[in-house]
């Protein structure tokens, strides 16, 4: 007996098809496509209010949201920056192997997008190797490493949220690990040889706001006695060590082998918003540190032509007493500034970045001396016990969930509460980084899944499964699910692909009498298999412009990787999971 469609089923299937078409056509506006889908399903009464509320408060979805917020605190520690300093060296092969191995490991434990974003700028600014030879391997290593665990990529957590929404037992932390290890090792070996096909472009200079930032090495600093390279001062994000002043003598340019001594004055040029990165080096004090003023919110001003500061220096002018502010950095358009900040002769038009006191805005001499520009929000980095709390707390939260002591939801929830109560994560930071787009996409996909199931739109799968059981075996169904997930992740995005294919995979497994767990993992791995298109996975898009790649670079390296990846997934899921 052939399957037939009712009007409701036909309408739901039409919405499903239009959603896929909309995602392909409007790749940059996937949130709007899913938002329109959600509104249509709700207004047409295909889902109830209770179903809508259940979708937006899905346990797996909330776990993903909290985990991404916890990753914000990890980004503010020295952990990933120290990793980057260790990775880059003179030998390309050694650098590549360290980059690939450590990126894959960290991407299995942290959100892989956070790993790539932290390492991006130091790799672009490194002096040893062309950035284009490293950035694409960085992205692929993050994708492959993300397949190792439940928390390595948002794709796995999205699939888990769909599992929970269907009343099934949650995926376990290491359900992905055996297949993921085969992918990391197999695809990593191939990628190592294919990296020779990447373009030999020039290192791409970052265009910072070229402020000169003065620092001093204290006598008890951990930097003393070690070279610039050993201290990790060469590959700072958007900051460049341009000069060292030692006993009144100027050292410029600064070689990586230059050994740091006590009382050295290190002058950095770069983005003033990154100035708090320097505070992570023990015993490296900023020019403004003696003032005791906070660096969390700087004010940017320009010296007026009639200012009393013109022709004077910061030391001679008594700047702190005049304005209740301390100069953190100086910038001069069209001309490089050299030497100690306190000894620079100020000119009209000079830009000053100021750490300000409580009385700054009440001073009547501001408008006489400055043109006031907008405030500069510096990055809030963690240090001391808060940094240790963020790192070890994250390890503890993930570890307890991994060994089954508690659920991932509970451990991440408690860790997020600790971060907020301790001040390691500010409420405004959490609100700013709240992944609303992912929340909307997954909620909409959950609602669509409920509409598909409730309307019986996949009834035809049962008909196909019984009528063509000789042709469509459980293994053939697994291949179909993987290929569909892979195709959609290259055409749309990984998150959307996982959300759209999941209900179909579950119904197909049921109709074929196959192991649903195997099909679920096929969706997860297929949705992470974005190697050919720079638009299917966020890390690919991040390195696409940064490395000045062309689409052909992704194709010639990504096609062999994608084929091997697919072969490994299809071979190992039946081996380790069974179908």
User: How much is the pLDDT for 204?
Assistant: 44
Q: Which helix (H) or strand (E) holds 66?
A: helix 59-75
Q: At what angle do helices 516-527 and 177-194 cross, to 10 degrees?
A: 30
Q: What is the pLDDT of residues 551-562, one digit of tens each?
A: 889 999 999 999
User: How far apart are alpha carbons 123 and 126 in whole angstroms?
Assistant: 5
Give the residue-averaged pLDDT of 419-446. Answer: 83
- Rounded to an integer, the average pLDDT of 350-378 is 78
Report the pLDDT averaged over residues 120-147.
86
Highest mean predicted confidence (pLDDT) among 82-86, 118-122, 390-394, 433-437: 390-394
Pairwise CA distance, residues 397 & 567, whole Å: 34
Chain segment 223-237, per-residue pLDDT in tens: 999 988 888 887 676
Residue 342's nearest CA partner among 277, 274, 265 is 265
Asked if the model's pLDDT at residue 1 lies above 50, the reply is: no
- Residue 408: pLDDT band by 50, 70, 90 thresholds? confident
Fold matches, 211-270 and 297-377: yes
pLDDT single digits (tens) 266-278: 888 887 777 778 8
Question: Is pLDDT of 378 > 60?
Answer: no
What SS3 class is residue 497? Answer: helix
> Mean pLDDT throughout 472-480?
89
Give, in words, the CATH class of 211-270.
alpha beta
Residue 75: its pLDDT value, please? 75
Q: What is the pLDDT of residue 231?
A: 83
Number of Cβ within a 10 Å radius of residue 185 = 12
pLDDT at residue 287 in the model: 66
CB atoms within 10 A of CB 162: 27
d(CA 345, CA 335): 13
Instruction: Average the pLDDT over 130-158 and give the result.
Output: 90
pLDDT (average), residues 12-27:
80
- Give the three-state DSSP class for 298: strand
More confident residue, 169 or 521: 521
DSSP 347: -
Position 103 confidence tier, pLDDT thresholds 50, 70, 90 = very high
- The model's confidence at residue 460, banded by pLDDT at 50, 70 and 90, is low
Q: How far apart are CA 68 and CA 60, in angstroms?
A: 12
Overall average pLDDT of the 559-571 stretch: 96
Higher pLDDT, 321 or 378: 321
CA pseudo-torsion sign 119, 120, 122, 126: positive
Q: Give pLDDT, residue 205.
A: 46
Rounded mean pLDDT, 164-186: 91
In CATH terms, is domain 297-377 a member of 1.10.3720.10? no
Sorted by where each begins, the domain ranges of the chain are 211-270, 297-377
**Percent residues over pLDDT 70 in the chain:** 89
Can you read off the two tokens belonging to residue 61?
């979805």
Summarize pLDDT for 147-174 with one digit per residue, the tens: 999 988 888 988 988 888 788 888 998 9
Mean pLDDT over each residue of the chain, to the nearest integer: 83
């Amino acid at each position: 007996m052939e399957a037939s469609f009712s009007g409701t089923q036909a309408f739901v299937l039409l919405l499903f098809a239009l959603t896929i078409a909309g995602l392909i056509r409007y790749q940059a506006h996937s949130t709007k496509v899913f938002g329109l889908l959600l509104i249509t399903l709700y207004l047409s009464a295909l889902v109830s209010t209770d179903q809508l509320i259940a979708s937006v408060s899905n346990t797996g979805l909330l776990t993903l949201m909290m985990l991404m917020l916890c990753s914000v605190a990890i980004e503010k520690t020295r952990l990933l920056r120290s990793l980057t300093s260790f990775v880059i060296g003179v030998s390309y092969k050694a650098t590549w192997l360290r980059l690939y191995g450590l990126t894959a490991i960290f991407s299995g434990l942290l959100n892989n997008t956070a790993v790539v974003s932290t390492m991006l700028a130091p790799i672009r600014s490194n002096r040893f190797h062309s950035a284009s030879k490293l950035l694409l391997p960085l992205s692929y290593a993050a994708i492959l490493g993300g397949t190792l665990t439940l928390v390595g990529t948002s794709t796995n957590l999205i699939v888990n949220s769909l599992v929970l929404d269907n009343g099934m037992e949650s995926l376990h932390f290491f359900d992905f690990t055996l297949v993921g290890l085969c992918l990391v090792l197999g695809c990593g070996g191939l990628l190592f040889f294919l990296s020779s096909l990447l373009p030999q472009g020039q290192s791409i200079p970052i265009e910072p706001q070229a402020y000169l930032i003065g620092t001093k090495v204290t006598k008890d600093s951990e930097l003393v006695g070690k070279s610039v390279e050993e201290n990790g001062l060469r590959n700072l994000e958007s900051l460049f060590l341009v000069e060292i002043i030692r006993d009144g003598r100027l050292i410029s340019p600064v070689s990586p082998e230059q050994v740091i001594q006590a009382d050295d004055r290190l002058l950095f040029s770069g983005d003033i918003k990154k100035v708090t990165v320097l505070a992570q080096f023990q015993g490296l004090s900023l020019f403004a540190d003696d003032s005791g003023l906070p660096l969390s919110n700087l004010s940017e001003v320009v010296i007026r032509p009639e200012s009393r500061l013109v022709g004077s220096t910061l030391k001679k002018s008594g700047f702190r007493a005049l304005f209740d502010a301390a100069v953190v950095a100086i910038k001069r358009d069209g001309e490089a500034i050299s030497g100690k900040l306190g000894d620079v002769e100020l000119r009209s038009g000079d830009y000053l970045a100021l750490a300000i006191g409580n009385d700054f805005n009440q001073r009547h001499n501001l408008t006489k001396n400055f043109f006031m520009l907008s405030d500069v929000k510096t990055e809030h980095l963690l240090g001391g016990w808060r940094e240790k709390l963020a790192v070890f707390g994250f390890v503890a939260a993930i570890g307890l969930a991994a060994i089954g002591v508690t659920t991932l939801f509970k451990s991440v929830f408690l860790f997020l509460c600790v971060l907020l109560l301790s001040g390691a994560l500010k409420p405004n930071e959490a609100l700013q980084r709240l992944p609303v787009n992912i929340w909307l996409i997954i909620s909409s996909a959950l609602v669509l899944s409920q509409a598909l199931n409730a309307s019986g739109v996949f009834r035809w799968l049962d008909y196909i499964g019984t009528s063509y059981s000789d042709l469509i075996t459980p293994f053939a169904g697994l291949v179909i699910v993987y290929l569909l997930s892979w195709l959609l992740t290259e055409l749309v995005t990984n998150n959307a692909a996982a959300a759209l294919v999941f209900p179909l995979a579950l119904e197909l497994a049921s109709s074929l009498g196959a192991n649903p767990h195997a099909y679920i993992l096929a969706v997860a791995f297929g949705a992470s298999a974005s190697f050919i298109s720079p638009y299917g996975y966020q890390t690919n898009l991040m390195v696409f412009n940064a490395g000045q790649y062309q689409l052909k670079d992704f194709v010639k390296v990504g096609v062999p990787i994608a084929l091997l990846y697919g072969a490994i997934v299809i071979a190992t899921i039946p081996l380790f999971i069974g179908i």
